[in-house]
Structure 1
Amino acid sequence: MTTSTDITLPRGLLIGGDLVTRSSGGMHDHIYPATGRPNATIPLAGATEIDQAVDAAWTAHREWMTFTPARRRDLLVALADAVHENLPEFAQLNTLDYAVPVSYAATAPLLEEFIRHFAGYVDKPHGSSTPVSGSFDVNLIEREPYGVVGVIAPWNGSLVVSASCVVPALAAGNAVVLKPSELAPFAALRFGELCVRVGLPAGLVNVLPAGAEGGDALVRHPGVRKVHFTGGTDTARTVLRAAATNLTPVVAELGGKSANIVFGDADLDIAAAISGHQGPLMQAGQSCACASRVLVQSSVYDAFLDKFVATVATATIGDPLDPTVSYGPVISESAANRILRDIDDAVTQGAGELVLGGKRIGGALSDGYYIEPTVFTGVDNSSALAQTETFGPVVAVIRFDTEEEAIRIANDTRYGLNAFVHSNDLSRAHRVARTLEAGSVWVNHFSDISPQGPYGGYKQSGFGRTGGLEGLQEFLQVKNIRIAMR
């Protein structure tokens, strides 16, 4: 198996434009999930480095705001150009971060796309004025940056979070302290280095890989005026408690147990292909957008199931650096063991019939953390298999008869990030989409975030949005100025 490329892995903490290789948070062996072996030892940020980064960020923010809007816009466009020139390297760094197949390289172009989109907002009006009752006073409503924001990225999405959170924060006028997971630091660090290289003020983007200690220090820091967290529900509760120390506002994009509804009038070939990709295959199911509950109408249940299982079974499994491979390992040994326990529990509890997968992959891949794509059928929606986010390549297929039953099952979860509808009846698709309790509904389509579309959750899938004008406004605070006209 290929375990190296000609890329030099960035190893350090990017603080104030400098790469720091010693830190108070200690050292961490980064394990490559495809081989189970370390490919780098990296420093982790502790409270000392977080403090230094926040100070550097405030200095850079003040400098950034002295630039004309046109200059800030042009620097972000230059950053997009630099990202474009380095797309192949970003794709490989993404793979070396967490062993996502290099063929799944959409996140690197997505970074460029978000930068170009939000660069266009820099010189557009962010405020407004309104009349004041009984007066001719001038009443201004301004939108101003927070100053310094903390962004916490999950291991499976450092580039996506750089695109959807860091970039609009910069466009809004903020400086950023980005904390990627210690499990996936490399692509985020390279992005930070490019920010310095194209001429953004040193410290405008600080990148500090860290574990729980660094994350806690970032959220509790009094100089951090807003926090954007992407990750799991349990960790979100910890973040919210820490943010309460200074009453720091938080945006949270959390997990899901998304329903993927296949109606009898759907194109079953397309629905099966999308369901396979969006379910167990994309990032080995390690995605908040994973469509892990597949709801299928009884009239096409057997026909769809044959096509769906065939799609999943033909995944190309192997070396993530091989461009022909579409399916890689899960993130760690502990994650693999947890997922296998969930599968065993589902079998023991009779949650459904295991029709595909369910085991760890051995042979040439035995050193890595590979689990077979796994499908359960006939699943009870009240079971743990259907209600708990597995965050692995495991899907539950659930039968339904009527549209009303599909909606009830789909909404019967504490989560509400995504939902998927497959139907060729436009009226039904629109009607069902309106009734689903989810922040995003994808009709005859896989999850495909874009800078134009706001993305975020309902219920315990979080609050706040990334993308779109709504995502930009998350990084702006409102000020009212009234000027007396006498």
Structure 2
Amino acid sequence: MPSQPLPSGEELPADEVLIGGVWTRGSGHANEVTDPATGRVLTTLHTASPEDVDTAARAAADPAWRELAPHRRARHLHRVADLIDRDADRLSAVQTADTGKTRAETAALAASAAGTFRYAAALLETAEDAITPSRGPWTTFATHEPLGVVGAIAPWNSPIASDAQKLAPALAAGNAVLLKPADWTPLTSLALGRLLTEAGLPPGLVSVLPGPGRTVGDAVVRHPLVAKVSFTGGTDTGRALARTAADKLMPVSLELGGKSPTIVLPDADREQALAGVLFGVFSSSGQSCVAGSRLFVAREIFDDFVGELAARADKLRIGPGTDPRTQVAPLVHHRHRDAVAAHVEAARAEGGRVLCGGGPPEGPAYADGAYYRPTVITGLPNSARTCQQEIFGPVLVALPFDDEDDLIAQANATDYGLACGIWTRDLARAGRIARRIEAGTVWINTYKQFSSATPFSGWKESGLGSEKGRDWLRGYQRQKSLYVADDATPLPWAS
């Protein structure tokens, strides 16, 4: 069917994907992209196929980009950032249509993507190789070179920001990239691909290949020219990807699932903690790997705090992402909404008590959208499936704790280790707890704040490898050592 205009009146991208420098119709299946707020089909896009992946990989194997001087590559990355800023409103509108997110959030994600490209450009301009201490009559160097072709498999929950976090460091490091966006949300990545083309990157350097993970993603991972894969998504998929990478002896970067604890100590600033917990789990409609989906509250304040939290969650404004008043937008897809609902029904079956939410909102305004009410559940032990499985929706499980040792034992009793939030006025105690928590990121008296300059990693089954920070580019390069003799004396063994 023909593309429908966005609510802003702008047309959605044409039925084309970017394969080896050419915008063309994909040779994969026809995929209907729907608006999560209305269920309306926005456009039909033909996805890429494994054959398209092969074409893209072979077109990407070109030395022109890697041989550019670093400051010249950086100039292209700054150009991409400028183009994102120029088209921020349109990119925000496309991502809201694609994912259902609020315009406020998608505008922030576009700004974040521009910042990521600028940060990667800065790293590129300032990255240094080393002359290492010599242990003989040589001058020794440690240098870094691009890997070649990188596979970037991005999630559906924050396309443009996730795309940038894979593209920018990989390109800065001198690589070509095969970007595979999620099947549900391809439009934002394709719009970004147009800007990459406009920025003057060499043809074929970046391909945008939407399609299912089981076909297109698998073809990217297995392709012999792909030298590394950066993946964000579910833990089961990440584990399967890592097995394939092991067979290829190929490095991978995996950002996987989470079931992150949020901790409220008895002395916490009540208003600050309430606002922070609500934001930490219900912003983005709970569709965030770092969502604070397990709430631990000191037993002496548990009933009062959780009761007030549920009352406030019940008043959060639910609506389409295009409404500036909306706080909780629809979930990304009706199938995902149904999966979240099934988790809540499982919690009820386990004996959980639903304090608020527990189903879609009522009324004709919500009838056709993938909406789900913010949900707070109590009465379950930390060992319950609902407390252990990632739900990836607006669902919070609240549990009491008795003392610090009990808290640490419960918070760490999970297969995941992505993030944690702590709410207290006692910063010394917060620091002590933070060091005992098994997670890659801990926020104290704040939540879901990020910086390109600060490393981000998952522990346990939440991931493998680290992103962001000063060493970000090095994850997309391989190291080479050079020995240069200081004189022309023949090696004595050969004399």
Is the pair's TM-score, using the shorter chain for normalization, greater than 0.5? yes
For residue 360 of structure 1, what is the aligned residue in structure 2?
A: 360
Report Cα offsets for 1:13-55 as digits up to 9, x if no partner: 11233211141x2211112211122111011111111011112
1:45 aligns with 2:48: yes
CA 1:125 to 1:470, structure 2 compared with 1: closer, same or farther past 3 Å?
closer
What secondary structure sits across from 1:284 in the alignment?
Answer: helix
Q: Structure 2: how far apart are the matches of 1:309 and 1:21? A: 48
Which of these residues, 28, 31, 35, is aligned with residue 32 of structure 1?
A: 35
Q: Structure 2: how far apart are the matches of 1:217 and 1:198? A: 28
Report Cα offsets for 1:57-116 as digits up to 9, x if no partner: 222xx1112322221111211111111111111111111111111122321110011111
- Aligned residue pairs total 479
Question: Given residue 171 of structure 1, which amino acid in structure 2 is its aligned partner?
Answer: A
Q: Structure 2: how far apart are the matches of 1:182 and 1:349? A: 33
Q: Structure 1: how far apart are the matches of 2:41 and 2:29? A: 16
Report Cα offsets for 1:198-257 as digits up to 9, x if no partner: 211122221111112111100000000000010001111222233334222211100000
Q: Structure 1: how far apart are the matches of 2:68 and 2:343? A: 53
Question: Given residue 35 of structure 1, which amino acid in structure 2 is its aligned partner?
Answer: T
1:55 aligns with 2:58: yes
What secondary structure sits across from 1:375 in the alignment?
Answer: strand
For residue 484 of structure 1, what is the aligned residue in structure 2?
A: 485
Report Cα offsets for 1:247-300 as digits up to 9, x if no partner: 222111000000000111111111111111111x22211111111000001232
**Larger CA deviation: 213-222 vs 184-193:** 184-193
Question: Given residue 405 of structure 2, which amino acid in structure 1 is its aligned partner?
Answer: E
Please give the residue correspondences for 1:57-136 in structure 2 after superposition, counting only pairs within 5 Å.
Answer: 57-59=60-62, 62-105=63-106, 106-133=108-135, 135-136=136-137
Q: Structure 1: how far apart are the matches of 2:105 and 2:307? A: 25
For residue 184 of structure 2, what is the aligned residue in structure 1?
A: 183
For residue 163 of structure 2, what is the aligned residue in structure 1?
A: 162
Deviation at 1:185, TM superposition (A): 0.8
For residue 306 of structure 1, what is the aligned residue in structure 2?
A: 307
For residue 337 of structure 1, what is the aligned residue in structure 2?
A: 338
For residue 24 of structure 2, what is the aligned residue in structure 1?
A: 20
Q: Structure 1: how far apart are the matches of 2:373 and 2:58? A: 47
What secondary structure sits across from 1:244 in the alignment?
Answer: helix
**Larger CA deviation: 328-337 vs 179-188:** 328-337
Q: Structure 2: how far apart are the matches of 1:44 and 1:126? A: 40
For residue 272 of structure 2, what is the aligned residue in structure 1?
A: 270
For residue 293 of structure 2, what is the aligned residue in structure 1?
A: 292
For residue 4 of structure 1, what is the aligned residue in structure 2?
A: 7
The answer on whether the counterparts of 2:320 and 2:330 sit within 8 Å (CA) in structure 1 is no
What secondary structure sits across from 1:448 in the alignment?
Answer: coil
For residue 372 of structure 1, what is the aligned residue in structure 2?
A: 373
Question: Given residue 188 of structure 2, which amino acid in structure 1 is its aligned partner?
Answer: A
What secondary structure sits across from 2:415 in the alignment?
Answer: coil
Please give the residue correspondences for 1:131-210 in structure 2 after superposition, counting only pairs within 5 Å.
Answer: 131-133=133-135, 135-210=136-211
Deviation at 1:3, TM superposition (A): 6.2
The answer on whether the counterparts of 1:416 and 1:461 sit within 8 Å (CA) in structure 2 is yes
Question: Given residue 20 of structure 1, which amino acid in structure 2 is its aligned partner?
Answer: T
CA 1:3 to 1:64, structure 2 compared with 1: closer, same or farther past 3 Å?
closer
Unaligned residue ranges in structure 1 (runs of 5+): none
Q: Structure 1: how far apart are the matches of 2:276 and 2:206? A: 36
The answer on whether the counterparts of 1:452 and 1:469 sit within 8 Å (CA) in structure 2 is yes
Q: Structure 2: how far apart are the matches of 1:471 and 1:75? A: 18
What secondary structure sits across from 1:173 in the alignment?
Answer: coil
The answer on whether the counterparts of 1:103 and 1:325 sit within 8 Å (CA) in structure 2 is no
What secondary structure sits across from 2:479 in the alignment?
Answer: strand
Which of these residues, 254, 257, 266, is aligned with residue 255 of structure 1?
A: 257
Q: Structure 2: how far apart are the matches of 1:3 and 1:116? A: 29
Q: Structure 1: how far apart are the matches of 2:431 and 2:474? A: 28
**Larger CA deviation: 268-277 vs 305-314:** 305-314
The TM-score, its normalising length taken from structure 2, stands at 0.94
Q: Structure 1: how far apart are the matches of 2:11 and 2:148? A: 33
The answer on whether the counterparts of 2:155 and 2:182 sit within 8 Å (CA) in structure 1 is yes
Q: Structure 2: how far apart are the matches of 1:163 and 1:428? A: 36
The answer on whether the counterparts of 1:378 and 1:399 sit within 8 Å (CA) in structure 2 is no
- What is the aligned-residue identity percentage? 37
The answer on whether the counterparts of 1:216 and 1:242 sit within 8 Å (CA) in structure 2 is no
For residue 452 of structure 2, what is the aligned residue in structure 1?
A: 451
Please give the residue correspondences for 1:435-474 in structure 2 after superposition, counting only pairs within 5 Å.
Answer: 435-474=436-475
Question: Given residue 357 of structure 2, which amino acid in structure 1 is its aligned partner?
Answer: G
The answer on whether the counterparts of 2:350 and 2:380 sit within 8 Å (CA) in structure 1 is no
Q: Structure 2: how far apart are the matches of 1:137 and 1:339? A: 62
Deviation at 1:408, TM superposition (A): 1.2
Q: Structure 2: how far apart are the matches of 1:314 and 1:361? A: 12
Unaligned residue ranges in structure 2 (runs of 5+): 488-495
Q: Structure 2: how far apart are the matches of 1:311 and 1:17? A: 50
Q: Structure 2: how far apart are the matches of 1:335 and 1:161? A: 20
Structure 1 segments of 4+ aligned residues over 6 angstroms from their partners: none
The TM-score, its normalising length taken from structure 1, stands at 0.95
Deviation at 1:473, TM superposition (A): 1.8
Q: Structure 1: how far apart are the matches of 2:235 and 2:477? A: 25
Question: Given residue 19 of structure 1, which amino acid in structure 2 is its aligned partner?
Answer: W
The answer on whether the counterparts of 1:34 and 1:320 sit within 8 Å (CA) in structure 2 is yes
What secondary structure sits across from 1:295 in the alignment?
Answer: strand
The answer on whether the counterparts of 1:114 and 1:450 sit within 8 Å (CA) in structure 2 is no
RMSD: 1.5
